[in-house]
Structure 1
Amino acid sequence: MFEPNGVALDIFGDKETSDARRRCQPTTEEDRAIFDLHLSVSVSYAISYIGWKHMPYCSEQIAAEAEALGVPMSLVDVGEGDPEPSTDTPWGLAKAYIDEVWAFLMENDGWNADGRLGGREVNLTPFTGDFVFSDSAGSTWDGYEPKNSPYKRCMHCRRRNHEKIEFSSTERWQPLMESNGLGYVNSQVHVTPHIGVTGRFFGFNTAEDEEAWGARTLDRPPYQDRYDEAAREVLEASTVAAYDPAKLFAISLFDNKFNSLPPLKIVYFFDRGDLSLMDFLELSVKSQLAIYNSVLLAWREKVRHDAPRPASVIRNELGDELVDAYAGPDIGIQTIKASEWEPYIRTMPHSEYPSGSSCICEGFASALRLWAGNDTIDPPIGFPPPEFGGPILEFSSWTEVSQMCGDSRVWAGLHFEEAVPAGAELCGGDEIAVSIASSIDALTAGDESAAVFKRDVGELVLRPL
């Protein structure tokens, strides 16, 4: 345990393990230097190890974050057959905790990470929502099936005016067709539709806080009664963005939250200049838990409302009407058929309402505001850095970060305008940040009743749609 007060508990709230692994309680300047060195090595190894072993699909993003902290991924290179490092070493301690946390999450987070939820034993598909699971209260998840087909000729689709159509349920999500440009065309499958129902929340200080968070809901999308107008608003927003370098950069920056939120946090951390590595760890854990719980809340509402993306509405509702709109890379704004319009970037394979980005970024912003004690970013953060031709964007508050994160999804053509404030409302307020902070602070103070991850998690209880 790297915490100088001598009583802090690990993330499981396990006093026995924490005491056994505790070291380097600094009482002198020399002890403090040793403590700081061990802490630095442990954190550096942990960041690199996560990207190398447990999240190889995010290794590029983690490597960039690690490099920003002066931690090359090569730090964790090991030879074949090398012995397991002892927890007496800072790198061995880091590895042990990362492995324990990861194993706990894979088994208990309710995301079906190993493909075994529902009882399947072989030929497993990790993270699939195609399973049936019931809890003891009788609540059941029995899979997700889109109400619309992605195909032009659809034998099982409903008829409208005696013609079979693929977009028959205009208030429901439609899988889109995607191509690699080389003849391989496939239909989208809704990504992890189950996690809002089966996923476990983590990090809340009390069961009441967790229950209140999980009970948050949104009314139906207000624009479903005016899709024609809402579709034209998306076309207009994406057309305006084509002439605005700042908006185009924001679309790219916030498309991948791993490429935007952690770098913003790191720049803020280093610009402050008065923070320790322990401060960075605390900030990272609190903000990541806010993001995680926001994802689950947003996903439940996405699947519950099951709303279509702008691409489906524009193509099917406006059809071959000629519109002035974004016509593709290096083409810009042209007069095109609405049915041929595409967003700036890929439309992700999940339903539209609310905006997951605005929900996630608002959860992140609330954690940063509470931790810092205010909303101000001083000095303001400019992106990209000057060495990369910037800044194009400048943020002077976490509210600005959250707002632009959400708005960029409308500029890109991925969301209707009202989905963004809906996502921010769903994950808004400081309740989640306060509860998570109380939980972490209790662990730091040695409270054995506190734990971010409780080893005795109990039954997986569903949150029905």
Structure 2
Amino acid sequence: MDTDLHSRGPSRRQMLKAVALTSAVTSSGAVLLAPAAPAAAADFNFDTGNAAKELLNRGGAGLAGIDPMDATILIRLTCLLANAWFDAIAPYHRSAVGVYSKLGRRPVSESATHRQRNIALLYASNKVLGAFPLFTAQSRAVLSQVGLDPDDDQENTTTPIGIGNLAGKGILANKLNDGMNQLGYGGGRKYNPQPFADTTGYRPVNTAYELSHPSRWQPNVLAKQVELGTYQIQQFVTPQFGGTKAYTFRDPARFLLPPPRKSDYTHNRAAYRAQADEILSASAALTDELKMKVELFADKRVLGASTAATAVGLDFDAYFHYYLTTNIAAYDAAIAAWYNKLHHDSVRPFSAIRFLYGGSPVTAWGGPGKGTVHDIPGRDWCSYVNTPDHPEYPSGSTALCGAHAQAARRFRGTDAMSFSQTYAAGSSQIEPGITPAKDLTLSWSNWSTFDHDCGMSRLWGGAHFRSSIEASRQMSPRIGDLAYEFVQRHVRGEAT
């Protein structure tokens, strides 16, 4: 975190206290920011600082309240925040117009420092986070601790508070009823809202206990509290996301992928078995490096971390233009992926392997601390990472990473980048105290290898077949291009 601790003195600015922050390590090892005790609070410089990066950090530790597997909710939250920041500072740019608000142009003199824009984006964030109960209190605390009133609801185009509130309000007006059922009243529900609940009527053809259709998705049974003997059955998380309003296209059907023929057990049994065997081979060959890559990319917060790491050298406005570009790319790629997941409803590797091998022994990773074993019954095999709670085809992670990487390439004009993550010995979330055996640093010098490893991590981890990864790569670059062009139209003020 780059925090400005340098004061120019009270005659130049008001000294305002910022929330004290400490590092919190996510399940991927990526560092997020968490509110700490008020002792030793830093001073945030509104004139030279970046409130999003230094105070909010894409939602801060509140993001830890979302399971890293819940990709659709995480991607939605971060994209709406990036959108709020962009729209709030657009009036202070020479040409930019907001995505969901047109708030005029402020005098150039108000852009001489970052003060007005920082205040505007904080209020826009507060408005948006008010629609996410999990993060409302944290957002309000941030404003209070830097001397701002979270209850100041003025709406005008002449003050940064008014502009921020209007920008946030515009986003909520367009997003709260965009098909995602965020308010929980979808499907005609009048009482007892269920936020983000399915509105498509989806029902799996297989139960968690019987795979009667080997080509179709089967809910898994996951441990909730093993020590108490409690388990839970998966449900397809937010299947309606595939019909949610995208930023860059009207109909996700334009990205409809061909059927996953290798997963068709009825008509292609040899290929069905071959792709299951590839998963077992990858499981048996896991190294410490591969395991930590699997864990890193399983947490979609890695996309935000990679954007922050590669935003070096961008000025204040460009930083937010870059953030919105990569977030829209991931958001729209997720919509396209979920549209296909619902359409194809394809089987996951764990179901196929257990179906094919039953009680017969296979060679694979034997579970935390067991390494590679040769006598595990197929019915007992588990992937290195928990199987996500949605159908297999295509790979959502690959789609997100591919679109994100392409958008970043277009914005920065190069495939080169620098991103790394260091893991202490034994810091694995899946094999704590064991993996990695010694300190390990993962690093990438270009988006192509980052994107490649993101996709392949899903095969190494046992969550996706190779064909699902390859299918996502067919559509993700196009969505990344659309995101870049969409944001640039708004930066140039050409959007209608």
Question: Paired residue for 2:419?
Answer: 381
Q: Distance in 1 between matches of 2:175 and 2:199?
A: 20
Do 2:101 and 2:170's aligned partners in 1 also have CA atoms closer than 8 Å?
Answer: no
Is 1:302 the equivalent of 2:302? no
Distance (whole Å) between structure 1 residues aligned to residue 185 and residue 316 of structure 2: 38
Name the counterpart of 1:121.
190
- Tell me what 2:351 maps to: 312
Of 98, 102, 105, which residue of structure 2 is paired with 1:10?
Answer: 98
Looking at structure 2, the residues matched to 247 and 45 of structure 1 have their Cα atoms a distance apart, in angstroms, of: 42
Q: Give the direction of change, closer, same or farther, for the CA distance of 1:342–1:124 in structure 2 (3 Å limit).
A: same
- Taking the aligned partners of 1:441 and 1:178, their CA distance within structure 2 comes to 44
SS in 2 for 1:370: helix
User: Does the 8 A contact of 1:360 with 1:427 survive in 2?
Assistant: yes
Partner of 2:393: 353
Q: 1:261: which partner in 2?
A: 303
Is residue 51–residue 58 contact of structure 1 (8 Å, CA) maintained in 2?
no
Whichever residue aligns with residue 187 of structure 2, its letter is: G
SS of structure 2 residue aligned to 1:395: strand
- Counterpart in the other structure of 1:112: 181
Q: What are the ranges of 5 or more consecutive residues in structure 2 without an aligned counterpart?
A: 1-87, 428-437
Contact 1:13–1:443 under 8 Å retained in 2: no
For 2:128 and 2:223, the matched residues in 1 are separated by 29
Instruction: Give yes or no for the alignment of 1:176 onto 2:220.
Output: yes
Report the counterpart of residue 412 of structure 1 in structure 2.
Answer: 461
Q: In the alignment, does 2:323 pair up with 1:284?
A: yes
Q: How far apart are the structure 1 equivalents of 2:449 and 2:368?
A: 28
Rounded Cα–Cα distance in structure 1 between residues aligned with 2:461 and 2:182: 31
Aligned to 1:149: 207
Question: Is the Cα–Cα contact under 8 Å of residues 394 and 469 in structure 2 kept in the other structure?
Answer: yes
Change (3 A) 1:89 1:120: same
**CA deviations over 1:46-81 (Å, ceiling 9, x no partner):** 55x379534465799xx9xxxxxxx99634569999
- Which of 160, 164, 172 in structure 2 is aligned with 1:90? 160
State the number of aligned residues: 386
Which of 199, 222, 231 does residue 185 from structure 1 map onto? Answer: 231
Q: Is the 8 A contact 2:341 2:392 kept in 1?
A: yes
Q: 5+ residue gaps in structure 1? A: 64-70, 132-142, 152-165, 452-465
State how far apart, in whole Å, the 1-side matches of 2:390 and 2:401 are.
18
Structure with larger RCO (C-alpha < 8 A, sep 6+)? 1
Aligned equivalents of 1:59 and 1:236: distance in 2?
Answer: 46
- RMSD, aligned CA: 3.1
Q: Write out aligned runs for 1:339-350 (5 A).
A: 339-350=379-390
CA contact (8 A) 1:45 1:76 kept: no
CA contact (8 A) 2:325 2:407 kept: yes
How far residue 410 of structure 1 moved from its aligned partner, in angstroms, is 0.9
Distance apart, 1:23 and its partner CA: 2.7
**TM-score, normalising length: structure 1:** 0.75
- Deviation at residue 98 of structure 1 after TM alignment: 2.4
Contact 1:42 1:91 in 2 (8 A): yes
User: Match of 1:234?
Assistant: 279
Q: 1:45 to 1:251 in 2, by over 3 A?
A: farther
Output one character per residue of 1:394-443: Cα deviation in whole Å (capped at 9) or x when no partner. 111112121111111111111112211111113234xx344333333333
Which residue identity is paired with 2:323? S
Q: What is the CA distance between 1:307 and its match in structure 2?
A: 0.9
Q: 1:445 to 1:230 in 2, by over 3 A?
A: closer
| Corresponding residue of 2:68 | none
Q: 1:306 to 1:97 in 2, by over 3 A?
A: same
Q: Which amino acid aligns with 1:74?
A: V
Q: Distance in 1 between matches of 2:337 and 2:217?
A: 15
Cα distance in 2 for partners of 1:170, 1:372 equals: 44
Change (3 A) 1:79 1:113: same
Given candidates 63, 66, 74, the residue that maps to 2:142 is 74
Contact in 2 for aligned 1:239/1:326 (Cα 8 Å): yes
Amino acid at match of 1:217: L
- Structure 1 CA distance, aligned partners of 2:338 and 2:188? 23
Q: Deviations over 1:193-233 (max 9, x none)?
A: 2222x31121x3xxxx645x641222221322222222121
Is the counterpart of residue 436 in structure 1 residue 477 in structure 2? no
